[in-house]
Structure 1
């Protein structure tokens, strides 16, 4: 069974996508960027955009009963190659070893510095049949 997850059903994404899709114990989180509800994209320093993006990922994970510790794969899209070293530092502070599998590539959007999507395995105790 497929379940579509929206952490705030009264404030869905402004574009046609589900924030996350759950299939059994797997949770697929759509690409998240530096946004605020009711505001949209928030430009900031790289660190600010990273932390806001992670907060958005965490809210979606929590809506499905998961945390960053349940993430098994991350895809990160960086606007600037020069940000890769700082991204690695922030990533290491955010995710704990053993780290999830990860792919990091460039993005083509000039208005966002970082986008992150991920796959999580829901923890024991979360009903996999929903």
Structure 2
């Protein structure tokens, strides 16, 4: 069995205990990050605007990636879940482009429309797979 390593930013440690949940699992150089949503560290849903909600979800993805030793540019695949996909898509794309740099080979992406997420008020969830870059 491959060696698995829990990846958990300090501010998400309470989630590991509360939900028996790993923000990410690292296997070799691959990082499998659980879906991140638009919430703060106290689990309060960001509800000021759709843009703020999506931005918070991407920021949470970034915290998990950083804890694993990589960044947005290391994402190789992403799956996004949207309550009202068609309504969200223009805003999601605009926010995503602020976090995911333009690359010759962008991440593979699947966007899925859904009816609800874990907690009321959550609108989008972003799940990624990343590859930790080779050490220089």
TM range (shorter): 0.7 to 0.9
If each structure's helix is expressed as a fraction of its own residues, which one has the higher value? 2
- What is the rounded CA distance, in whole Å, between the counterparts of 1:6 and 1:84 in structure 2? 29
* 3-state SS in 1 of match to 2:13: coil
* Residue-by-residue CA offset, 1:69-88 (whole Å, 9 max, x unaligned): 00001111111121112212
TM-score, scaled to structure 1: 0.87
Q: Which moved more, 1:117-126 or 1:34-43?
A: 34-43
TM-score (norm 2): 0.83
**Counterpart check, 1:5 vs 2:12:** no
Any stretches of 5+ residues in structure 1 without a counterpart? none
- Give ranges in structure 2 of 5+ residues lacking alignment: none
Matches within 5 A, 1:1-130: 1-8=3-10, 11-13=13-15, 14-80=18-84, 81-98=86-103, 99-109=106-116, 111-125=121-135
1:10 and 1:42, CA in 2 relative to 1: closer, same or farther beyond 3 A?
A: closer
Does structure 2 retain, via aligned residues, the 8 Å contact 1:2–1:23? yes
How many pairs align? 126
Cα root mean square deviation, aligned? 1.9
Structure 1 ranges of 4+ moved more than 4 A: none
